Amino acid sequence: MPIVKSVSRAVSQLLQSSGCGCGISIVPVRCIGVSPRQVASDASFHSVSFSESDHPRVLITGGLGQLGVGLAKLLRKRFGKNNVILSDIRKPADNVFYSGPFIYADILDYKNLREIVVNNRITWLFHYSALLSAVGEANVPLARAVNITGLHNVLDIAAEHNLRLFVPSTIGAFGPTSPRDPTPDLCIQRPRTIYGVSKVHAELMGEYYHYRYGLDFRCLRYPGIISADSQPGGGTTDYAVQIFHDAIKTGKFQCNLKPDTRLPMMYIDDCLKATLEVMEAPAEALSMRTYNISAMSFTPEELAQEVQKHVPELEVTYNVDKVRQAIADSWPMNFDDRNARRDWGWKHDYDLPELVTTMFSFLGSDSRIAQAN
Ligand SMILES: NC(=O)c1ccc[n+]([C@@H]2O[C@H](COP(=O)([O-])OP(=O)(O)OC[C@H]3O[C@@H](n4cnc5c(N)ncnc54)[C@H](O)[C@@H]3O)[C@@H](O)[C@H]2O)c1
Ligand SMILES: C[C@@H](O)[C@H](N)C(=O)O
């Protein structure tokens, strides 16, 4: 494997040449501010950090999925439109393309990604590219490539260029042998999907690079995210978005999970708020580098009941998808996020009733609600 070879070659060169007195067994991270792939050629160049005056220069990978466009909008409000570059391998819609900088970036193309980071003087990277749980099971080789090889590229470039790196993890990083109600930050993690395996790998690699190379890695385990103006990308929690669209369009919803399947969920605004907050938190506040975040937990039946308060005529039927059901049955039912609340003041704004009201107000269901009342 070329990556393994280059990492081990670079690490051995580093250990010979670092001159920082580090031993092999315990390596103080601040001695090594560079990535394994770059250390041999130009360590001194890359060890100089950018003097990012006021604002970070941000790159979002995989930015055209359910979460990226909303994240770009939030970050542009905070850091300025031109300081936030959205990227993906897909073609953006006109409104996205004209709302701020967009660039093609395939995370599997290491050199291209590095060029983007260098040319745009990127200082913060939000790594959103991934194949989610259900689509990952349908194409394991691609999920492995994007979620694992892609992550390796991102980690190396981030370490090499001294970036602050955010990588989202998920409730899917846990498995049937994890405590499920509630699931704490630190417990057994033996997921049964390629998605979950790749996310545990991302958590561990990011934490290792933090310890080993001083990479400023930050990671949140998101619940299932619910949004009105973007579509989910093929996950197990997608039903909780689809129900709103179907309630409005047809008044009929067929759920692919059993009515009593309880999963942690979150409204997108809370998710993006947490993401920005953890990136802005002072390093000293972070006792860990990977945190659970939680807002609410519900079953399809409970969600349907809340939706029916707005659309009473909604008919819900169940046609269980075996793959998704098996995944959901192995995931947390409730998430314990006390460490995030304690360390950097995480607090959600949306519980189930606010979520449902907000979704309907975005999706413009006024006429149906009026009929219902
Ligand atoms: N949406 C959720 O409910 C949720 C929950 C937990 C964690 N997450 C995580 O948040 C991140 C964003 O999630 P999302 O829902 O927006 O995902 P999504 O599936 O909607 O979007 C992922 C994006 O990655 C892009 N992509 C795929 N291959 C790529 C490649 N080779 N190079 C660059 N981009 C590539 C896709 O084109 C897509 O636009 C993911 O890492 C996901 O695991 C999401
Ligand atoms: C939970 C999350 O990671 C994603 N929505 C999925 O279901 O795969």
Q: Which helix (H) or strand (E) holds 342?
A: helix 338-344
How many angstroms separate the alpha carbon of residue 238 from the centre of ligand 1? 13
- Domain chopping of the chain, boundaries: 27-226+266-292, 239-265+298-332+351-372
Torsion of CA 172, 178, 180, 181, to 10 degrees: -130
ipTM: 0.99
Q: Which helix (H) or strand (E) holds 325?
A: helix 322-330
Could you give the CA distance from residue 277 to residue 120 in angstroms, rounded to a whole number?
Answer: 24
DSSP state of 335: B
Atom of ligand 2 nearest to the CA of 136: 8
Would you say 287 and 223 are in contact if contact means Cβ atoms under 8 Å apart?
Answer: no
How many angstroms separate the alpha carbon of residue 234 from the centre of ligand 1? 9
* pLDDT of the chain, 373 residues: tens digit per residue: 344 334 444 434 433 333 333 333 333 333 344 555 654 334 333 333 444 457 999 999 999 999 999 999 999 999 999 999 999 999 999 999 999 999 999 999 999 999 999 999 999 999 999 999 999 999 999 999 999 999 999 999 999 999 999 999 999 999 999 999 999 999 999 999 999 999 999 999 999 999 999 999 999 999 999 999 999 999 999 999 999 999 999 999 999 999 999 999 999 999 999 999 999 999 999 999 999 999 999 999 999 999 999 999 999 999 999 999 999 999 999 999 999 999 999 999 999 999 999 999 999 854 454 444 4
Nearest residue by C-alpha to atom 29 in ligand 1? 129
Q: Domain 27-226+266-292: which CATH class?
A: alpha beta
Q: Which helix (H) or strand (E) holds 263?
A: strand 263-267
How many angstroms separate the alpha carbon of residue 77 from the centre of ligand 1? 22
How many angstroms separate the alpha carbon of residue 311 from the centre of ligand 1? 31
For residue 184, say if its preceding peptide bond is cis, omega within 30 degrees of 0. Answer: no
Crossing angle (nearest 10°) for helices 39-46 and 2-17:
60
Q: Nearest CA to 57 among 117, 129, 128, 127?
A: 117
Determine if ligand 1 sits within 6 Å of the CB of residue 153: no
From 139, 226, 237, give the residue whose CB has the most ligand 2 atoms within 8 Å, as the site to mutate.
Answer: 237
Residue 176 confidence (pLDDT): 98
Could you give the CA distance from residue 89 to residue 82 in angstroms, rounded to a whole number?
Answer: 20
Question: Tokens at residue 343, please?
Answer: 């360390």
195 is catalytic: yes
From 225, 241, 266, 324, give the residue whose CB has the most ligand 2 atoms within 8 Å, as the site to mutate.
Answer: 225
What's the Cα-to-Cα distance from 288 to each of 89, 216, 284, 342, rounded to whole Å? 32, 12, 10, 11
DSSP state of 82: G
From 59, 64, 67, 96, give the residue whose CB has the most ligand 1 atoms within 8 Å, as the site to mutate.
Answer: 67
Ligand nearest to the CA of 127: 1
What letter represents residue 369's amino acid? I
Q: Assign residue 106 a region: left if phi > 0, alpha if psi is -120 to 50, beta otherwise?
A: beta
Q: CB neighbours of 337 closer than 8 A, spacing ≥ 6?
A: 185, 291, 292, 293, 294, 346
Strand 84-88 relative to strand 102-104, pairing: parallel
Would you say 36 and 11 are in contact if contact means Cβ atoms under 8 Å apart?
Answer: yes
How many angstroms separate the alpha carbon of residue 135 from the centre of ligand 2? 10
Ligand nearest to the CA of 272: 1
Residue 54 confidence (pLDDT): 76
Nearest residue by C-alpha to atom 18 in ligand 1? 65
Q: CB neighbours of 42 closer than 8 A, spacing ≥ 6?
A: none
Determine if ligand 1 sits within 6 Å of the CB of residue 265: no
Atom of ligand 1 nearest to the CA of 108: 31
Q: Which of 110, 128, 195, 291 is catalytic?
A: 195
